[in-house]
Amino acid sequence: MSESRLDLLTRFPWLKEAIKSRLWQPAAMLLTLSFFVLVILTGLLGTPAGSRNFGIIFVWIVWWAVLIIVLIPFFGRLWCAVCPIPGPGEWLQRRGIISRVPGKLRSLGWRWPRPLRNIWLQNAGFLMMAMFSTIILTRPLLTGWLLLGFLLLSVLFSILFQNRVFCRYVCPVGGFIGLYSLLSPLELRVKDVAVCREHKTKDCLVGTSCSYGCPWLVYPGTLKRNAYCGLCAECVRACPKDNIGLNLRPFGSDLLVDKERRMDEAFKAFIMLSCSLLYSVVLLGPWGWLKALANMETVSGWALYATGFLVVNLLVVPGLFWLTTVLARHLSGLHASVHRLFVDHAYGLVPLGLAGWIAFSLSFIFVNGSYVIPVLSDPFGWGWDLIGTSRVAWTPLALGFLPALQVITLLVGLVFSITTLYRIAQQHSSAFAGHALVSSGDRAWWATLPTAGFATGVTLLFLWIFLG
């Protein structure tokens, strides 16, 4: 596997210097923080008309587009390294922003409860947000309060717990970025595991005089997947053995790491897939009654919507996939339990899920992207005209290409998913080589047939919403 890696830090020494610098992360965070503060301000004080409010436009169009179309697919968790939300809390813990302030992190040092050391909390948080998403992403005031809430919550968590417990276990966005970063072509890994095994002081975990211990509570020496590495590069700064690389690698590599698959992450995959479908139906569909329910026009209507939303997310989609796995096990004769196969194969849905999100996002980014221009001139909707563009009219862009772009995205996602599903099945079929009746390849193929059918069905559903 490792032969298909290209260590960017060895290849580009300037990049290594840049990354080791203590400057880039705080600089980026301060930049995003200024946008963030402006977003909160415009959200709380600016016009309630979302399409004329900097906060709404910059969070739900600009940030979202960059995140889902560029950062996650190509750079994994890079957003987490520059996200402004944990900034103030982290700087309080460190008592400094740029330089390494000597001494321990300052916090009450509580321990994060063991039952919550997973992403169930993030799954729940994301579902909660998603249920309210129709009203959040159309109301500047709600967006403002939500983001301010995140900021305060992250500060609170930094006071109670050491390091980025908020990012790792609480942030609803971090959960899915982590899962989807498994397929990004960028990874931070040790070059030689043996070197770490021999190295007793574990500088990357405890920190050095010029670096902090891993804020994400990750030990690079055994790091196999992107899921919980925030790409902050503290370990690169710490490592006295120069044993950490930033690798370019094939897309989707981490989806095949078979030792750390878990039910909480599997459910994250289902939730993300379901949500991208539901969003497409509710927000892009022509059904006004559905939008009215989601828009909380009546409490009972919204309760109905929320119930349906949760049922689809937690029962229908996982349930159908469970049945698919049962069928796959039956067809292939794989020995692993249905439970195991269910969890493992869920990772195969990650590429399709991301493709679904990209296809969904493309449609409103091209349609509504032009809103960016007037809000730059008049962020609050108070009648300003900073750069003379406040009256630029809404102009949908590139609608002719949109369907083709969506189809291509979905097809890439589908083929990627089928391949991944097959390779996950292979891992199970090679587990018992003694069986002579069917070759392991055939067994994997039969196991893939139903799951590939499931993925194809989901793709067709997307196509029907977008084009049908």
Partner 1 sequence: MRKRLLTLLPPALVALGVLFVPLDMFAATPVTRQFTVQASQFAFDPPTLRVNRGDRVVITLEATDVVHGLYLDEYDVNVRVEPGLSKQIEFVAEKTGKFRYRCSVSCGSLHPFMIGELVVMPNDAFARAVGLTLVAALAALVYLSRFPPGEA
Partner 2 sequence: MLVIVVGLPVAALGYHLHLFPDRSGVRTIDIVAAAPERGGFQPDVIRVAAGEKVRLRFSVPDVTHGIALGPGLGIDLGQIDPGQVEEIELVFAEPGRYAYYCNTWCSPNHWRMRGVIEVYDPANPSRLVSDSRPDPVTGALAEQGIDIDAPHPASVIPAAAKPSATRGEAFSTRAETPLPPEFDDASWRRGHSPAEAHTLLNRELPALSEEEAWDIIAFHWLRDLTPERREWATEQYAKNCAACHGEAGTGTGPGVDALRQQGLGRHGEEDETTAINDPQTILGGTSNIYYAKIRRGGMGTGMPDFGPVFTEDETWILVDYLWTFQFAE
For position 347 contacting partner 1 by CB under 8 A, the verdict is no
Contacts of 192 (CB under 8 A, 6+ apart): 243
Q: Which stretch binds partner 1 (CB under 8 A): 103-111, 192-200, 300-308, 364-372?
A: 364-372
DSSP state of 115: G
Nearest to 233 by CA among 210, 256, 249, 252: 210
Q: Could you tell me the two tokens for 275?
A: 């949500």
Give the shortest CB-266-to-partner 1 separation in angstroms.
22
Question: 317-332 and 440-467 helices cross at what angle (nearest 10)?
Answer: 150
Which of 26, 43, 50, 178 touches partner 1 (CB under 8 A)?
50
For position 283 contacting partner 1 by CB under 8 A, the verdict is yes
Per-position x/- string for 292-311, each x denoting binding to partner 1 as judged by CB under 8 A, each - no binding: x--x----------------
Looking at the Cβ atoms of 93 and 459, the one nearer to partner 1 is: 459
Q: Which stretch binds partner 1 (CB under 8 A): 26-34, 132-140, 152-160, 303-311?
A: 132-140
Which of 49, 70, 156, 315 touches partner 1 (CB under 8 A)?
49
Neighbours of 318 (CB within 10 A): 20
Q: Which stretch binds partner 1 (CB under 8 A): 187-195, 262-270, 347-355, 439-447?
A: 439-447
Cβ-contact 293, 144 below 8 angstroms: no
Looking at the Cβ atoms of 74 and 384, the one nearer to partner 2 is: 384
Phi, psi for residue 306 in degrees, rounded to 5: -60, -40
Burial class (CB in 10 A: 0-12, 13-18, 19+), 388: exposed
Q: Which stretch binds partner 1 (CB under 8 A): 20-28, 49-57, 73-81, 97-105?
A: 49-57
DSSP state of 430: T
Contacts of partner 1 in 197-236 (CB under 8 A): none
Contacts of 57 (CB under 8 A, 6+ apart): 50, 51, 368, 371, 372, 375
Cα-Cα-Cα-Cα torsion 108, 115, 67, 245, nearest 10 degrees, comes to 80
Cβ-contact 54, 42 below 8 angstroms: yes
Query: Can you tell me which residue has the tokens 């493992």?
Result: 344
Give the shortest CB-313-to-partner 1 separation in angstroms.
20
For position 392 contacting partner 2 by CB under 8 A, the verdict is no
Q: Which stretch binds partner 1 (CB under 8 A): 87-95, 209-217, 343-351, 451-459?
A: 451-459
Looking at the Cβ atoms of 39 and 179, the one nearer to partner 2 is: 39
In angstroms, rounded to a whole number, what is the distance separating the alpha carbons of residues 134 and 174?
Answer: 20
For position 415 contacting partner 1 by CB under 8 A, the verdict is yes
Q: Could you tell me the two tokens for 289?
A: 């009654």
* Binding residues vs partner 1 (CB under 8 A): 49-52, 134-135, 138-139, 282-289, 291-292, 295, 364, 367-368, 394, 396, 399-400, 403, 407, 410-411, 414-415, 418-419, 422-423, 426, 441-442, 444-445, 448-449, 452-453, 455-456, 459-460, 463-464, 466-468
Q: Which chain residues interact with partner 2 by CB under 8 A? A: 30, 33-34, 37-38, 41, 47-49, 51-53, 87-88, 91, 97, 379-384
